[in-house]
Copies of this chain bind each other. A is one copy, B any other.
Amino acid sequence: MLRASKELALTEQPRMSILQNCSFTLQFFNLDKIIRCFFTRENHQEQLHCISWREQTAGQLTSCQGEDNQSLMVCVCVCVCTTDLLPALGGEDVTRGFLQELLHILLGYICKSSQRSSKVLDFHHPHQLKEGLEGFSLDLPDQPETLEQILVDCRDTLKYGVKTAHPRFFNQLSSGLDLIGLAGEWLTSTANTNMFTYEVSPVFILMEEILLRKMQSIVGWSEDEGDGIFCPGGTISNLYSILVARYHFYPEVKTKGMAALPQLVLFTSEHGHYSVKKSAAVLGIGSENVVVVKCDERWVQRAQTPSVTLLQGLAPFYVNATAGTTVYGAFDPLIAIAEICHRHTLWMHVDAAWGGGLLMSKRHRMKLQGIERACSVTWNPHKMMAVPLQCSVILVKKKGLLQECNQQGAEYLFQMDKPYDVSYDTGDKSIQCGRHVDAFKLWLMWKAKGSEGFGSQVNKCLENAEYLYDQLRRRTDFELVLSSKPEHSNVCFWYIPPSLRNVPPGPDRNSRLHQVAPQIKARMMETGTVLIGYQPLGSKVNFFRCVFSNPATQQEDIDFLLEEIARLGSDL
């Protein structure tokens, strides 16, 4: 009569003897682990009797309301819960079992994500997910759930998410799942430490230093130049660049604030990332004091702009040049900008968040020629180098500036009388106090690929872009946004649905074409077969932007993308 429910797996079998009809004595070996017993009729879901073990003083349950001679099943829910895991006494086995089961789930997801036959996403609206699909409740309980349920929650979380590692995920600059990077993240979270002092992160601090040194030398700075830090994303890296530039020219700003300074002005191009404006707002400079330089589709034409503004009596101090713009993947002419900055004593920052990866490729690094003249560089390995999120770096040419700019000398954290070289305590050169270890996964990937492996990876992404460009040129149902060969891995294009193919250019065609990408994208999300982003830009109506940073993507996926867009838009 005894039937163990699957939740019993992690404990010993309870023993039950029938004393009289519907009255049982249950003996358990792990009494403290049982939170709930219930009886059901065989093959029935309903619970005839449910009792919390904690309410029982003895192991005898007497009030089950089953019928005479009916086959009854006793289900015992064993509370293998979070308190059974380490550091609980004897928690090793439960911990091993739990993490092993988790690995099984994660491996299943990883394998599925790499299968072309699986969906990129299974879209649901916010209200649908909030209502609790198939029992997947997002609500936060007062009482603990069992580990069994936690694993179910993990499965469900992955099920309703988006597979960013799928070969047909083209939606974001960050995509793919590098397994060495993943291993790096798993180890990082297992070590669970903080980058602020050498004391608690000796190995990670050194790895960060070695990576920064390497990246500085790849940028082209000499041995005696260069500083930097890993940041939580490219926007923070760009914010750092303006912060240190301001401090470099006006060190009094740190204590006196902007009130002590003339009206600062900085420059970026209209295709530069919006983080420059955002940072200007945060830093108290004001977003209107960011001069947005008009540019053509690819090249910034800013040769005269700073000098013009100088005439107006403002205080320009900083130019942001972009190496790899977000939409077009264009590279600003760094040498020309360096000349201007040199002439006017302006801080030259290169936002290579997206384009920095090309420095790893012998074939493509010339696109960033002049970057060695920058005073600071943003470079996000989590984009083109496919390092798991987050992994962004700000490099600053002038040594010691980060520390001077940001230190507040909190003695309770950064004691000078420690028994080691305290220049390795990085916490006083960052804005943050506690700081996540973002360096290790990149270090591990560098070990596993070597510089050359990163180079090949970047080359392959740019080959994919060229392949897509070639396909688009051949087809009549698509139109390229830019006619020239892509510089980076961005390729922008319109799908021209049948109804628009014979409509002459003009406002009518434009306003109808503007609707096409959003409609196709909506259908794409419904079908879940592929994912790509779109946006308008300047006078250009909504167009698709395909970007390649996912090492999983092959030419067949690019063919599929175009076929799928054409299929989804065939009736538009």
Contact = CB atoms under 8 A, between A and B. Distances in A.
Nearest to A259: B263
Contacts of A284: 253, 257-258, 283-285
Interface in A175-197: 176-180, 182-183, 185-187, 189-194
Contacts of A417: 518, 542
Interface string A101-112: 011001101110
Contact of A126 (B153, B405, B424, B436): B424
Nearest to A392: B434
Nearest to A433: B235
Given A235-B431, A418-B521, A552 B125 contact: no
9 contacts: A106-B190, A109-B191, A145-B448, A158-B187, A189-B189, A253-B284, A415-B542, A417-B542, A436-B436
Interface in A78-127: 81-83, 85-87, 91-92, 95-96, 98-100, 102-103, 106-107, 109-111, 114, 123-126
Nearest to A151: B183
B203 A273 contact: no
Contacts of A124: 202
Given A114-B87, A388-B192, A141 B446 contact: yes
B194 A174 contact: yes
B179 A86 contact: yes
A320 to B, nearest CB: 14
A201 interface: yes
Interface stretch (A63-71, A162-170, A299-307, A342-350): A162-170
Contacts of A14: none
B164 A193 contact: yes
Contacts of A392: 434
B180 A82 contact: yes
A353 B65 CA distance: 52
